Amino acid sequence: MPPEYAAYSVSPHARVDCVECHIGKSFIATRITRKAGDFKHVVDLVFSRYEYPIHAGNLRPARDTCELCHSPEKFSDDSLREIKRYSDDEANTAASIYLIFKTGGGSRREGLGKGIHWHIENPIFYLPLDTLEQKIPYVRIVADDGLMTEYVDIESDVKPETVDPNKLKQMDCITCHNRITHFTPQPEEAVDGLLVRGLISTSIPDIRRKAVDVLRVQYASSQQALDAISELTDYYQQKYPDFYTGNGQLVKDAVTEILGIYSQSIFHDQKVTWDTHPSNIGHEYFPGCMRCHDGKHLNAKGEAIRLECNLCHSVPVVAGPDKFVANIEISRGPEPKSHMNPNWINLHRNTFDLTCAACHKMDDAGGTSNTSFCSNSACHGSVWKYVGFDAPALREIMKEQLKELIAFEVTPAPKPAQAATQPSSTESTGAVPTYADTIGVIFLQRCSGCHSQDVTMNGLSLTTYQTLMTGGIDGPAVISGDPENSLIVKKVAGAQPHFAQLTPEELDLVKKWIAGGAQEGPPAAQVTPTADTGETGKTSWQGGIQAIFLNSCVMCHGESGMGAEAAILTSYQNALIGSKEGAVIIPGNSQASPLVQLQSAGGHSGQLTNEELTRIIEWINAGAPEK
C-alpha cells in the first residue's frame, strides 16, 4: 500500500524484508503456514471488504521479531540527544534542545533494570479500549514477589475488580515503537529536519512558519494541495521581491522539498492524514507515553504512575544561537520529601518557594526565557494537552496531598530540659561552642534556605535558638546532652546525604555543642546583628554585617541562589566582588553603592530593617572593613 511503503522506504528498517517482521523469522515451513493464514487478506482485497484508512492488526509478538536483533538487555547506557528546532519568526531562529535519554534496560543481575526499557524488563499489563491503543484506562504492574499494583484513570468508569484478565495486553517493544518502520513525521518535525540538513535554506524569510502552515491545511485533494504549496513561490515574489530577485532558486528548491514532504506523507485515496496513524513515541503530537503517564492514573493509595520530566530523560535544556554553553542539570543527590510524592509534577507548581533555590536557579520562575532551571521554554512554552493536570476528580485529590507538602509553622513546644551535666554560661564560652558564637552561624550559612523564620520546611526553623530548641513536626531537633539521638545529627550524619550537608568539622562542632548542653550563649555574642565592632573600632564585616546578610539575604544571594548572578553575599570577598555588572558595594561611598540604592527604594524581597540598613551604610562609609 503506497502510504506504508513510502514510510518504510525511508525508515531505519528499509533494508529489512517486510516478512521478517510481519511473518517472523522461523523455519521455512512455519513461515509458509503463517503466510497461508493471511489468505483472508487476499479475499478481502478481491471482494473489497476493507475500509480506509487501513491499520495493521495481529502482528507477530515483539519477542519473536524486534528482540531477535534488539534485545532489551543490550540497551543499558544513557545517551545525549540534541533536538534541533526553528522558531516561527522571520529569521527562522534556530534552537537546540539538549537532554539525556535514560534508555535503561539491562538485566537485574547487572543492576540495570531501570529507565525507559524498565517497561519490558518487568511484567506490565494494560487494558486498551481501542484498536490503536490510544485509550488505556487500566494498568497492572506485577512485582518480583507477585504483588500486583493496579492503576486506574480516575476519569474512566473502569473498576479494577471487573477487569477481564483475558483482555489485558503485556507491554513489549511495539507498545511504544508502533511506527518505527512506518513513521510519518509531523509537519513541524519534517520542516525542521530539512532546515537542519540545508535542503531548505534558513536565509529564506519566514520559511519555517509558511512551510508548516501550508502543510497543515486540510485539502480536498492531492492536486489542490500541490497547487497551494506551489503558490509559495508567488508569495515570496510579492512579499519579499528584493530577496526573491537574488535568491529565487532557493525559494524554488524549498517549495520542491515541501511538496516532497506532502507527497510522502498524505495519501487522499487511502484517507491517510497526519493523524491517522499515531506514533506512541513521545508525548507532543499524540498521547504516547501519557496514555499511562498522564498524572491521573492512580493506585488505591492515590499515587500516580509517575509523570516527571526527568523520569525517562533529563529536564530539557534549550540553547539558542547566542548560548555557547548548554548546561544539562543531572540530579544525583537525595530528593526532598516533596519530590518523592508520585504526584510531584502535578503539585510542584503550587508548592515552589524559595527553598527551591537551594538546588536550582529560579529566575523568571514559570517563564520561558530559559534563564534558569525554573524558566524553561521546553516545559512551560507548550500546552501538554494529553496531561491530566486539570481533571476535576484529580484536582480534589491533589488538594488533600498539597496540604501535606506545604511548609507550615508548628505550635511552640516547651523548651527541652537541659541535661544535668549542662555547663554554665561562663563555661560555654570557653572550649564548648554556643549557639551564639558558633552554631548559629553554621546553621544560618548551611540551613537557612529551608529552615528559617520565612521558610519553615517541616515546621523547623534553625535561625534562632528558641525555634531550634522548639523543633518541628518531626519532634525536637536537639536533645541536650545526647548528640547521637538528636534528630539534627541523625539527618546530617546518616547514610542518606542531606541537602545542606555539613562539613565533618562543622558536624563535630554541632555534636560538641549538643553534648555540652546545647547552650545559647551570652547575649553579647548573639548571631543576630548587634552593635559589635571589629578590631578597628568600627562596624565591620565580621562584627555584625555578615550576620545581617546571612539572616536576610543568602537565601537568594548564596552560591546557588536565584540571585547569585546579581551578588553573592556569603563571604567578604564575594560581597565586594559583586556581579558581572559591577560592584554592589563601593567602600567609602554608600550613596553610590547599588546595594544601598536598592534597599533604600524599599519593596525588596529581602528588605532590611531601617536599623540594619543604617548599620550597612555606616560600614560602607567607613571603608567596608572586614575586621
Block residue for cell numbers 507550615:
408
Residues 518 and 550 occupy one common structural domain: no
Whole-angstrom Cα distance, residue 1 to residue 333? 52
- DSSP letter (8 states) at residue 493: H
Total tally of structural domains belonging to the chain: 4
Q: 610-616: long-range contacts (C-beta < 8 A, 24 or more apart)?
A: 611/529, 612/529, 612/548, 612/552, 615/529, 615/539, 615/544, 615/545, 615/548, 616/545, 616/548, 616/590
Instruction: Place 87 in a pLDDT band, splitting at 50, 70 and 90.
Output: very high
At residue 407 the predicted structure's pLDDT band, cuts being 50, 70 and 90, is: very low
Q: How far is CA 52 from CA 48, 56, 138, in A?
A: 11, 12, 29
Q: How confident is the model at residue 177 (pLDDT cuts 50, 70, 90)?
A: very high
How does pLDDT run across 531-565, given as a tens digit for each residue? 344 444 468 888 788 888 877 787 677 765 667 77
Residues 432 and 516 in one domain: yes
CA angle 333/336/339 to nearest 5° reads: 105
pLDDT of residue 309: 80
Contact residues for 621 (Cβ-Cβ < 8 A; gap 6+): 588, 589, 590
Give 165's contacts (C-beta < 8 A, 6+ positions apart).
none
Residue 429 — very low, low, confident or very high, per pLDDT cuts 50/70/90? very low
- The one-letter code for the residue type at 103 is T
**558 with 473, same domain?**
no
Percentage of the chain exceeding pLDDT 90: 38
Q: Are the CB atoms for 138 and 128 separated by under 8 Å?
A: no
CA pair distance 307, 214, nearest whole angstrom: 34
Q: Are residues 446 and 512 in the same domain?
A: yes
**What SS3 class is residue 304?**
strand
Domain range for 492 is 425-523
Q: Which residues pair with 472 in a beta bridge?
A: 475
Query: Does 10 map to a domain?
Result: yes
Count CA atoms within 13 Å of residue 188 on its CB side.
8
Query: Of 523, 555, 573, which residue constitutes the final position of a domain?
Result: 523
* pLDDT of amino acid 450: 77
Mean pLDDT of 78-90: 93
| Sign of the CA dihedral with 560 first, then 566, 569, and 574 last | positive
Q: Is residue 510 a part of any domain in this protein?
A: yes
In terms of domains, do 548 and 470 share one? no
Q: Does the structure show a pLDDT above 80 at 226?
A: yes
Max CA distance (Å), the chain: 104
Any domain includes 579: yes
> Which of 228, 248, 265 corresponds to the end of one domain?
265
In this predicted model, what pLDDT tens digit does every residue of 127-159 receive, in sequence order? 999 999 999 999 999 988 889 999 999 999 999
In a domain, 468, yes or no: yes
Last residue of a domain, one of 265, 298, 331: 265
Distance between CA 445 and CA 502 in Å, rounded? 10
Instruction: Give the pLDDT of residue 138.
Output: 97
Give the predicted TM-score (pTM) of the model.
Answer: 0.71
Residue 422 has pLDDT above 50, yes or no: no
Residues 595 and 508 grouped into a single domain: no
261 lies in the same domain as 212: yes
In a domain, 417, yes or no: no
Does residue 515 share a domain with residue 554? no
- Of 188, 186, 216, 191, the C-alpha closest to 201 is 191
- 3-state SS string over 186-203? CHHHHHHHHHHCCCCCCC
Quick one: pLDDT at residue 404? Answer: 66
- Read off the pLDDT band of 7 (50, 70, 90): confident
pLDDT of residue 139: 97
Question: In whole angstroms, how far apart are CA 347 and each of 58, 354, 512?
Answer: 41, 16, 40
Greater model confidence, 445 or 115:
115
pLDDT of 20 over the 90 cut: no
Assigned domain for 416 exists: no
Please enumerate, as own/partner, the contacts of 39-46 that have beta carbons within 8 Å and a separation of 24 or more.
none
One-letter amino acid of 257 = E
Q: Which of helix, strand or coil describes residue 548?
A: helix
Rounded CA gap, 149 and 77, in Å?
28
> Are 561 and 613 members of one domain?
yes
What does pLDDT average to over the chain? 83
Phi, psi dihedrals of residue 520, rounded to the nearest 5° = -80, -40
Assess if residue 241 is contained within a domain: yes
Q: How far apart are CA 272 and CA 266, in angstroms?
A: 6
Q: How far apart are CA 565 and CA 371, in angstroms?
A: 11
Mean pLDDT throughout 224-246? 96
Question: Cα 405 vs. chain centroid, distance in angstroms?
Answer: 18
**Phi and psi, residue 85, nearest 5°:** -130, 160
Please, are residues 585 and 598 in contact by the beta-carbon 8 Å criterion?
A: no
In a domain, 449, yes or no: yes
Taking the alpha carbons at both ends of the chain, their separation in whole angstroms is 83
Q: 471 to each of 210, 220, 409, 499, how far by Cα in Å?
A: 62, 71, 10, 18
Average pLDDT over residues 353-375: 80
Q: Are residues 194 and 223 in the same domain?
A: yes
Q: Is the domain of 499 the same as that of 565?
A: no
CB 540 within 8 A of CB 533: yes
Residue 136 vs residue 27, higher pLDDT: 136
Which 8-state DSSP code applies to residue 389? Answer: T
Instruction: Say what angle helices 241-265 and 207-216 make with each other, to 10 degrees.
Output: 40
Give the pLDDT of residue 337: 74
- Percent residues over pLDDT 70 in the chain: 87
Q: Where are the alpha helices (DSSP H) in 219-290?
A: 222-230, 232-239, 241-265
Q: How far is CA 500 from CA 226, 358, 412, 492, 551, in A?
A: 62, 8, 24, 8, 16
Query: Which positions ≥6 away from 140 have C-beta within 8 Å?
Result: 124, 125, 126, 148, 149, 150, 151, 163, 168
Tell me the range of 47-51, 473-477, 501-505, 567-571 where mean pLDDT is highest. 473-477
For residue 53, whether the previous peptide bond is cis, meaning omega lies within 30 degrees of 0, is: yes
- Could you tell me if 193 and 184 are in contact, meaning their C-beta atoms sit under 8 angstroms apart? no
